[in-house]
């Protein structure tokens, strides 16, 4: 990768790191702020759900806009929306206002597909997994730094973390404004003439079996991992009497392993075994970890199972994005990656709902068994998907999809 291409990739990774640090800073404190405004447990659940719902709706749209008008303006304006939403969160005086603001915040946070499209723009096939891993590592590191920073700031006042997060997002927007170059179509050197409505990505997903399989794999994987995240603290509290502090250390352990995987190891694995093999291995390791966690009765087993889960997650996330970028039309990278991230948002809605119900009705280990089953289903879908991916070169698939995407749309 030459210096010209490395610069926007590293800047995009820094932007995502700052973005998710701000996100991680406020997320652990939102339930308490919602309770301050009169929310019960159901209200807190709505706060989380409405955010994920906004991402499900708007991530594909922002991805499509980035294909049409460029990556930089979409990422910049999404960060501006985040700044506004964080300020309004601090000023919210009632629960309905907070719900509305969190929906707006979800819109602002729907830029991950556009960010991944930047990676696709500036990396070659051989470098793609490493680039996607760098973005994933930035997300994971943000989730490690953010909550710790939020814990340090919360004694200063209940709204202080929101104001700090807004300031961080503002700095992020300025970095994008002054330093991020426009990268759309760096690979082919021509300006896109793509038009049509903002929902054609769903049609492309439906028309191309490989893209559809990868999107469904991402949905199943996201639900499986989110189920684990949602009830892990309840599991350790029930079986070991662990407190919030101990569970915080546990999630930090998971985050560090994911960052190490995505920040460097996944690129080395791809060089040795290629993307399709790494995806299968990641799903197999994830499945083993989830099933082991369901029957973990000792601290050592919990650490081992979460280590496996973290290694699997660290491999799967960037590889799915990489394979999707190979299989997507050259002129619809942001849109298809946005669809995949939007479907991931749907998984983050379904996962917690399923996890809580199953935990209450069927026992503390049962949700992890369900996660393992979903991971096995994803692995079953991955075998034909990776075979198709390995037989068809990324350029061939992309050219075919691009031809289809260029067909005139009925809606302008």
| Long-range pairs of 38-44 with CB within 8 A, sequence gap ≥ 24 | 38/94, 38/95, 39/95, 39/98, 43/95
Q: What is the DSSP letter of 265?
A: I
* Element at 222 (helix H, strand E): helix 209-240
Q: What percentage of the chain reaches a pLDDT higher than 70?
A: 85
Task: Decide if pLDDT at 403 tops 50.
Answer: no
Query: What pLDDT does 402 receive?
Result: 44
pLDDT in tens, 89-103: 889 888 889 889 989
Rounded to whole angstroms, the Cα distance separating 120 from 15 reads: 16
Q: Find all residues with CB under 8 Å of 339, minimum gap 6, and list them.
A: 59, 60, 63, 113, 201, 202, 205, 215
Provide φ and ψ at 127, rounded to 5°: -95, -10
Claim: this prediction has a pTM higher than 0.85: no
pLDDT at 136: 82
Residue 397 has a pLDDT of 45
Whether residue 194 is predicted with pLDDT greater than 70 in this model: the reply is no
| Rounded Cα distance, 359 and 297, in Å | 17
- Residue 216's pLDDT band (cuts 50, 70, 90): very high
- Asked if 313 and 385 count as a contact pair (C-beta separation under 8 A), the reply is no
Write the pLDDT tens digit of every residue in 7-21: 788 888 888 888 888
- Check if the beta carbon of residue 371 is closer than 8 Å to that of residue 290: yes
Mean pLDDT of 245-254: 77
**Given phi > 0 = left and psi -120 to 50 = alpha, else beta, which region is 98?**
alpha
Average pLDDT value for the chain: 81
- Position 1 scores a pLDDT of 54
CA-to-CA distance for 162 and 25, rounded, in angstroms? 8
Quick: pLDDT tens for 167-185.
999 999 999 999 888 887 6
Query: Mean of the pLDDT values across residues 347-353?
Result: 82
**For residues 45 and 366, which has the higher predicted lDDT (pLDDT)?**
366
Does residue 393 contact residue 243 with C-beta atoms inside 8 Å? no
Can you tell me the distance from the alpha carbon of 403 to that of 407, in angstroms, rounded to the nearest whole number? 7
- Which residue ranges form the domains of the chain, and what is each CATH number? 1-179 (1.20.1250.20), 199-406 (1.20.1250.20)
Tell me the H-state helices in 70-208.
71-91, 95-108, 112-122, 128-153, 160-179, 200-207
Digit-coded pLDDT (tens) for 80-91: 999 999 999 889
């Amino acid at each position: 990768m030459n210096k010209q291409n490395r610069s926007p990739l590293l800047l995009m990774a820094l932007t995502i790191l700052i973005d998710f640090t701000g996100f991680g800073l406020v997320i652990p404190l939102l339930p308490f702020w919602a309770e301050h405004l009169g929310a019960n447990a159901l209200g807190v659940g709505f706060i989380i759900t409405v955010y994920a719902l906004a991402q499900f709706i708007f991530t594909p749209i922002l991805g499509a806009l980035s294909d049409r008008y460029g990556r930089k303006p979409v990422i910049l304006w999404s960060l501006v929306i985040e700044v506004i939403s964080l300020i309004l969160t601090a000023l919210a005086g009632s629960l309905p206002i907070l719900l509305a603001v969190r929906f707006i915040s979800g819109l602002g946070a729907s830029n991950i597909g556009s960010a991944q499209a930047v990676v696709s723009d500036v990396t070659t096939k051989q470098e793609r997994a490493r680039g996607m891993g760098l973005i994933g590592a930035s997300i994971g590191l943000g989730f490690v730094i953010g909550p710790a920073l939020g814990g340090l700031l919360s004694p200063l006042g209940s709204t202080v973390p929101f104001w700090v997060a807004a300031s961080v997002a503002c700095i992020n927007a300025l970095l994008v404004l002054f330093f991020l170059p426009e990268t759309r179509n760096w690979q082919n050197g021509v300006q896109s003439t793509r038009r049509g409505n903002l929902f054609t990505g769903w049609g492309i997903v439906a028309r191309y079996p490989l893209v559809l399989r990868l999107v469904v794999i991402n949905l199943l994987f996201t639900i499986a991992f989110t189920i684990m995240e949602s009830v892990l603290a309840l599991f350790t509290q029930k079986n070991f009497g662990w407190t919030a502090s101990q569970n915080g250390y546990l999630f930090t352990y998971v985050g560090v392993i994911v960052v190490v995987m995505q920040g460097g190891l996944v690129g080395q694995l791809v060089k040795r075994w290629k993307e399709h093999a790494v995806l299968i291995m990641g799903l197999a390791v994830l499945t083993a970890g989830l099933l082991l966690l369901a029957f973990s009765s000792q601290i050592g087993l919990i650490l081992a199972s979460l280590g496996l889960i973290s290694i699997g997650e660290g491999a799967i996330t960037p590889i799915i994005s990489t394979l999707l970028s190979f299989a997507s039309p050259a002129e619809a990278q942001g849109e298809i990656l946005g669809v995949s991230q939007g479907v991931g948002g749907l998984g983050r809605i379904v996962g917690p709902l399923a996890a809580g119900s199953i935990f209450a009705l069927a026992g503390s280990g049962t949700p992890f068994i369900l996660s393992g089953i979903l991971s096995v289903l994803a692995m079953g879908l991955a075998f034909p998907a990776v075979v198709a991916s390995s037989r068809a070169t990324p350029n061939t698939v992309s050219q075919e999809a691009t031809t289809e995407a260029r067909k005139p749309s009925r809606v302008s």
